A and B are shown apart, each in its own frame.
Chain A
Amino acid sequence: MEAAAPGEGQIHDRARDLWVVPIRHHSPACAAQLERLIAAVAPAAILVEGPCDFDPLIEAIGDPRTRAPFAVVALRETPGRQDAPAPAIRRVASYFPFCAHSPELVALHAARDRGIPARFIDLPSHARAMDADAALTEGRSLLGSEHPFTIGDYVRALARALGCRDGNEVWDHLFESRIAHPDWRAFFADTARYCAHIRAASDPASGEDDGTFAREAQMRALLAQTRAEIDGPILAVVGGFHAPALLAPPARADPPARTGAKTASRAYLVRYGMRQLDALRGYDAGLPLPGYYERLWATRTGPKNGKGRDDDTSPAALARTILTGFAAHLREAGAQGPAPEVPSVAVLVNAIEQAERLAALRGRPFALRDDILDAVRSTFVKGELARAGSPLMTEFHAWLTGTAIGDVPPSAASPPLVEAVRERARALGFTLSDGEHRTRHLDIYRKPRHRAASRLCHAMTLIGAPFAERTAGPDFRSDVALDRLHEVWRTSWSPHVEARLIALSEVADDLDEALAFVLAQSIAALPQAGRGRDARAAIELFAAACRAGLDTAPGGGTEALLALIEDAVIEDPEPASLVAALSDLLLLRRAGEALGIANPTAIDRLVATAWRRVLTLLPTLADTGEDRLDDALRALADLRGVLELARTAHDRLDGGLEKGTLDHRDFDTALERLAARPLAPLLAGAIEAFALIDGRRAPTALAARLSGELAGGYADPAERLAFLRGLIAIARELLWNVPEVLAALEGIVTGTDEDAFRALLPHLRLALMPLDPREIDRLAQRIAERLGTGSGTLTRSHAIGEDELAANLTLDHALARLLAEEGLA
């Protein structure tokens, strides 16, 4: 019997010819050493820790078009929470991510290249033990927890002894530093020992609770099963924490292996990004800042073109590659917008030197992640660093996270929601094969297909999938753009779109379901945003839902929204916001056709409710405090706008808003009630204006009141003009249409002495400010007519003659000369 090579006993069970390779997820060193091990051992089968129901995906994972990073996403149905707005059954998505330097991926690729069987050996992804420690949160990781690598007394003590700041630095120091070392036996013997110590130091009771033991029993059972089926060396690639339990012989009490058949979950291969990979770290999967490890992975083969050259690919050149790469990134970012300062060459040289010397001081063969971070910290930032970090360090972290997004073959199956949306988008003529930005013009009124495309774009926007951005198009809020016939969209089918759809796959199989869910969520979120009673927010949401093509018929998805708007309207205590909501509702009603509202009567009902509520609240305007008078005035002015709008709505829509919905007589009654209360002059002016328009007040009565106010005995001259201001805010046309108003004004101007007039003038200006230039001209003309002259004589221009100009120029030159002589120029 030949003697085992040193360290081999830690990972090799000779009796069963079983190699159990302890790895850490996403560790480039483990992946590189695993490549060496596979070349030396030449296994007959490769087993990987991962849900066994993913076996059907192994072929797609090995597809040459599959490019890391990618992930397997598993959707599993669970009963929904009672308090959730979502359906009773909800789906939970969990991810099993791969990047180029995942040992698991290296193992699967090796199996493909060697033509040997490969399989996953963990419990199925829907097993309870697989998410014992994760709540039903979005984006869980199916990779085993790596908590033990970062916490625990053993790791902490080791960090202290080695002078490392945390468990990740310990790992880098002990293992990642050996990525290019040829001795894979010693490497895995050490990882095995390290992981065994971590396991020995962890609480055995937690293994029962978090499902560790159940998973290990499954893995042991599948190992035994494979052993029975296949001759030759078997290789199992598992998280280091589990390795000791797998080398142990199968326990008698182990239940038989569970399989992925009859699965309650569905699994798909999806594109994945480095950024999402880093985010998953919150669930303790893998190493932080994957961008660093990706670059480290590229160095595994050692120097390709000789040391010290520019294209040196050895680990020793890693610090230089990364730091110059980051400097280049800063230069690029600086060219595009505000970015941290670009380091000079001297700083860069200093930083590289710093990183390498730090590595030497800490006894490492080349600069590891923390050495490079430390070097940037020391050399790039000239000044004090806040504990919370600096923009530069944040940028460096972001850059080291990376932005790479992988790819999966088009043949790979996707969750139903993704398929459904893709199919719909393709049918409507959108290009999905690349992530390019494209512009599309949609003739939404005349072409049904274009309208359908517009609805898809709106729907994607509403569910938060960044597929389309509208650059032009009608807006129900503004009159002008409503007449536009085209919408212009910029669209791009990026991985982020799919990422959002996959997240929504938890709750929806098609776009309408997704829309309903997002809408329900948005409604539930309104109170948290402090807009729970805000009718306008609800109306905005309703309009968005209409544009997205959601069914507005009774019983459709928008019914809850309409109820919400009604509640908000009924409970709104503020006349100002109510008037705004009312005007929004009328605009919505008028744009009903463009928005595709199938059921206008529901909105009519809302309009009527809001109108009644406005009238109820109108008399309370009398109680408005002095500081909020302007708001009240604005509400009254808006109300007049609403009345006008209602009138045009009657005209424009055949059989539209029912006659009498906005009953003028009720409005008059409410106004009378308001007028009967003691009012501030500002509001009194506004009410009188309404009364005159409606013919309830004679122009002479108004003029008398105005004259009285203008001549009033107020301490503050502004008070004297408040009435006029209120009048103008509601109906400025009274200035030129009703001669009596102008006469009253003229009386005050001619009847005041110079000083008093000068005191009044600024307030008069303020009162007349709402007038636009055309109206000023018109007013000037009326005044000129009253004065018996032409309006041209009212404006005087002061021209200077040629002689005067020449004299002034001479004076100017003389002054300049004088100043120059005195040295003051």
Chain B
Amino acid sequence: MTSRTDPIRLPAETRYAAELAALSAQDSAPRPAGWQLSPRAVRRFLLGDATLGIARKFYGDDPLVDRAIVSLMSQQGLMLVGEPGTAKSLLSELLTAAISGTSALVVQGSAGTNEDHIRYGWNYALLLAEGPSERALVPSPVLSAMRQGRIVRFEEITRCPPEVQDALISILSEKALALPELGADAVASAAPGFNIIATANLRDRGVHEMSSALKRRFNFETVHPIADPAFERELVLAQLAERLGAGGIAVTGARETAEVLVQTFSDLRCGRTTEGVALNRPDAVLSTAEAVNVLHAAALEAAYLDEGQLTGAHVARQLQGVVLKDCAEDGKRLRAYVEHIAKERAGRSAAWKAFYQSARTLRLD
């Protein structure tokens, strides 16, 4: 059992401190200025290295990791785009932890983000008492990263209004930020090692456009959902074990149930089943992370409310909340899936049968 004072989640550099230390000790390859590890060690940190006992942390697209690391060495920023729940933020956290030693310099983009969050603000008490001074200045994570030669993360950049996003343009091209309040010549120049990782969603609701000028200053990498259902199942099961293990909970039947869940997600996400039957894609996001949430919730129900036997029925009951989020049509689409695809499969496996019988009773529309 975890102790009461442990935080729910530790930052990557703390969680993997031992691995980072091991990598650093072994690392003889040249490091770019300002980097804590060489690019190859960063790669090993993300993709794993059995000889050093480093676990793999990012799955599905190894060349993408190479490209991301190399982009961070260049003059360009790195923009991670893709559907929600494709581990963009995880990737950016791991990269900053390995390269800069901290993943804590974060700007969280939202409709309320303003230029102060990107440039700097003031401690108004000190400002009134002393006038503008270095002491009264409150640096943003971006300014801190510039001064320390680290990488700053900008989460969900497209949720900021475009004029706020554009404050990054001069920072990315000049690698400097003027501080006119501290004097005409006061400029914060970025130390070597400074760069930005932004994550963005280009198609979700409530996101803004990005200006072409800003786009030009980034290298784009698209993070795709995992395409291989078997691999996704293993991943979901591993994450479930991690979560349940922390709570000391054990369930049976997780493997068969995860199979049903991942297959359902993958079918709905692609708009086509593995047998090649076409179906309507729901608008709702059906990411791997979402699948882990569903399975976790289903497992908790099985553990606390049933006899610890996880079945398709538990998963089916959780599915309603995932699919019915913002589009009423999605309920009908899920119902069609249950009544045609799941029904067909129910004849062949017990897990699908349980899933079908429970899903049939959901109020989906």
Contacts and interface: CB of A to CB of B under 8 A. Distances in A.
B222 A384 contact: yes
Interface in B204-237: 212, 215-216, 218-222, 224, 227
A379 B76 contact: yes
Interface string B125-140: 0000000000000000
B228 to A, nearest CB: 13
Contacts of A593: none
B231 to A, nearest CB: 13
A361 B69 contact: yes
B22 interface: no
Interface in B56-75: 62-63, 66-67, 69-71, 73-75
B221 A350 contact: no
Given A163-B43, A357-B39, A385-B222, 14 more contacts: A350-B75, A354-B74, A357-B73, A358-B70, A361-B66, A361-B69, A362-B66, A374-B66, A377-B67, A384-B81, A384-B82, A384-B222, A385-B220, A387-B224
Contact of A354 (B212, B215, B218, B219): B219
Interface in A337-384: 344, 346-347, 350, 353-354, 357-358, 360-363, 370, 374-375, 377-379, 381-384
26 contacts: A165-B63, A344-B216, A350-B76, A354-B67, A354-B71, A354-B74, A354-B219, A358-B66, A361-B40, A361-B43, A361-B69, A374-B63, A374-B66, A375-B67, A377-B67, A378-B70, A382-B212, A382-B215, A382-B216, A382-B220, A383-B202, A383-B220, A384-B220, A384-B222, A385-B222, A387-B227
A755 B277 CA distance: 59
B325 to A, nearest CB: 22
A393 B333 CA distance: 34
A163 B63 CA distance: 8
A470 B122 CA distance: 77
Interface residues of A, number: 26
A230 to B, nearest CB: 49
Between B67, B73, B76, B227, the greatest number of chain A beta carbons within 10 A of the residue's beta carbon is seen for B67
Interface in B40-98: 40, 43, 47, 62-63, 66-67, 69-71, 73-76, 81-82
B203 interface: yes
A575 to B, nearest CB: 36
Given A382-B215, A383-B220, A384-B222, A353 B74 contact: yes
Contacts of A384: 81-82, 202-203, 220, 222
Interface in A378-401: 378-379, 381-385, 387
A280 B218 CA distance: 38
Interface residues of B, number: 29
A460 B74 CA distance: 55
Contacts of B76: 350, 379
Contact of A378 (B75, B212, B220, B224): B220
A357 B220 contact: no
Nearest to A161: B50
Nearest to B82: A384
A163 B221 contact: no
Given A350-B76, A354-B74, A387-B224, A163 B218 contact: no
A383 B80 CA distance: 10
By Cβ-Cβ distance, the 4 closest A-B pairs, closest first, are A385-B222, A382-B215, A357-B70, A378-B219
B222 to A, nearest CB: 4
Contacts of B39: 357, 360-361
A751 B198 CA distance: 79
Nearest to A362: B66
A163 B62 contact: yes
B168 to A, nearest CB: 15
B128 to A, nearest CB: 44
Interface in B304-346: none
Interface of B: 39-40, 43, 47, 62-63, 66-67, 69-71, 73-76, 81-82, 202-203, 212, 215-216, 218-222, 224, 227
Give the secondary structure class of A's interface. helix
Contacts of B220: 378, 381-385
Contacts of B222: 384-385
Given A163-B62, A383-B215, A361 B47 contact: no
Nearest to B173: A346
Contacts of B63: 165, 370, 374
Contacts of B71: 354, 378
A382 B212 CA distance: 9
B307 to A, nearest CB: 40
A381 B218 CA distance: 10
A31 B71 CA distance: 34
B47 A354 contact: no
B86 to A, nearest CB: 11
Contacts of B202: 383-384
Nearest to B225: A387
A163 B69 contact: no
A544 B40 CA distance: 65
Nearest to B219: A378
A554 B66 CA distance: 70
A374 B67 contact: yes
Nearest to B47: A163
Contacts of A377: 67
B294 to A, nearest CB: 23
A387 B71 CA distance: 21
A363 B215 CA distance: 30
Nearest to A356: B70
A357 B30 CA distance: 13
Interface string A654-691: 00000000000000000000000000000000000000
A187 to B, nearest CB: 25
Nearest to B76: A350
Between B63, B74, B220, B222, the greatest number of chain A beta carbons within 10 A of the residue's beta carbon is seen for B63
A354 B82 contact: no
Interface in A711-756: none
A349 to B, nearest CB: 9
B200 to A, nearest CB: 9
A361 B37 CA distance: 13
Given A163-B62, A382-B218, A383-B81, A350 B74 contact: yes
Between B74, B81, B227, the greatest number of chain A beta carbons within 10 A of the residue's beta carbon is seen for B74
B266 to A, nearest CB: 13
A378 B67 contact: yes
Interface string A420-435: 0000000000000000
A344 B222 CA distance: 21
A802 B202 CA distance: 63
Contacts of B75: 350
Interface in A240-280: none
A510 to B, nearest CB: 44
Contacts of B224: 387
Contacts of A382: 212, 215-216, 218, 220
B261 to A, nearest CB: 22
Contacts of B212: 382
A375 B39 CA distance: 16
Contacts of A165: 62-63
B126 to A, nearest CB: 41
Nearest to B203: A384
A347 B217 CA distance: 9
A165 to B, nearest CB: 6
A525 to B, nearest CB: 24
Contact of B67 (A163, A350, A358, A387): A358
B203 to A, nearest CB: 7
Nearest to A359: B70
A375 B220 CA distance: 11
A165 B47 CA distance: 13
B273 to A, nearest CB: 17
Contacts of A361: 39-40, 43, 66, 69-70
A347 B62 CA distance: 23
A31 to B, nearest CB: 27
A357 B71 CA distance: 9
A360 B38 CA distance: 12
